Structure 1
């Protein structure tokens, strides 16, 4: 999470959406940077509104705007799948090294998700408590240039975004029936991604 005080902007880091690269570039100029532990680095909107925002508003009369990035849900799950296949996780419950992408997504669709598929929700991350999307400025990962243009305009800087924290290469073969189930069961994920384009 990054806070830019003069601009009254808060960047909320949705996991697996290029946030490490963004924080690497913008972190040094942020007025507040929370990069660890992960539960704080990847603070969703509800947690920010519950714990951080009240503290700021109690001490300063300001209106804060939030910024976040969401990714195509299938690609986002694919990134998690690849990330959890890295060698250091082999033998752990959250390792995906020995399973297919189909199996991973099927696990994600279960009410009680197996450890390897328990990766959260982008739509929940950027939404108010049991409500609509609450992030002020929402961008698509696939249109990262728009986020860069936004920050360049807001912060009056030039940004060259590196590629960091890349996951291992894996085959991302998703069967049509599993994809159909994903789109129906997780419609909110696709709606949040579509909303970012608008």
Structure 2
């Protein structure tokens, strides 16, 4: 999470959406940064409102606007699945190395997912307590150039955004049946994506 106090903007870091690369490019322009531990770096809208907002926002001043990037739901889950299949965590409770993508998605859909599928939900990350969208500026991961252009305008600087924290390559495909189940059981994820258009 990066705070641009003068620019009145907070970049929330939704996991697996390219925000690590954005953070690296933007760090010299940020007034405050929470990069670790991961639970704090990936501060949700709700946590920001409950724990962080009052610290940065002073009475009588314009509120800081929130910004986030989200990814197409199947692609987002695929990135998590591939990231957790890396060799260095094989054999741990978080590893997906020995399960199929269908099984990963089925586990993620459970009310209480097993450790390897505990990755949260993008829709909850960017939502207020009442379920309404809690960010002022929401961008698509596959159109990161728009997010970069927006940020350049706010921080008044040219950004050189590379790639970082990229999930390992792995042939991943979701069966037609599991794709249909995912869309039926997690409609809020697809609704969030659909509101961003194409």
The structure-2 alpha-carbon separation of the partners of 1:164 and 1:27, relative to structure 1 and needing over 3 Å to count, comes to: same
Q: How do 1:107-118 residues align onto structure 2 when only pairs under 5 Å count?
A: 107-118=107-118
- Is residue 175 of structure 2 the alignment partner of residue 175 of structure 1? yes
Deviation, structure 1 residue 94: 1.0
Partner of 2:161: 161
CA-based RMSD: 1.3
Preserved CA contact (<8 Å) 1:127 1:134 = yes
Worse overlay, 26-35 or 155-164: 155-164
Output the CA distance in 1 between the equivalents of 2:131 and 2:106.
Answer: 26
Unpaired stretches in structure 1, ≥5 consecutive residues: none
Preserved CA contact (<8 Å) 2:127 2:135 = yes
Preserved CA contact (<8 Å) 1:140 1:197 = no
Deviation, structure 1 residue 58: 4.8
Partner of 2:85: 85
Deviation, structure 1 residue 197: 3.6
Deviation, structure 1 residue 146: 0.7
Preserved CA contact (<8 Å) 2:29 2:155 = no
Partner of 2:186: 186
Output the CA distance in 1 between the equivalents of 2:104 and 2:80.
Answer: 10
Partner of 2:69: 69
Preserved CA contact (<8 Å) 1:139 1:197 = no
Unpaired stretches in structure 2, ≥5 consecutive residues: none
Q: TM-score, normalised by structure 2?
A: 0.96
Deviation, structure 1 residue 62: 2.9
Worse overlay, 111-120 or 12-21: 111-120
Q: TM-score, normalised by structure 1?
A: 0.96
Output the CA distance in 1 between the equivalents of 2:60 and 2:45.
Answer: 19
SS at match of 2:195: helix
Deviation, structure 1 residue 55: 2.4
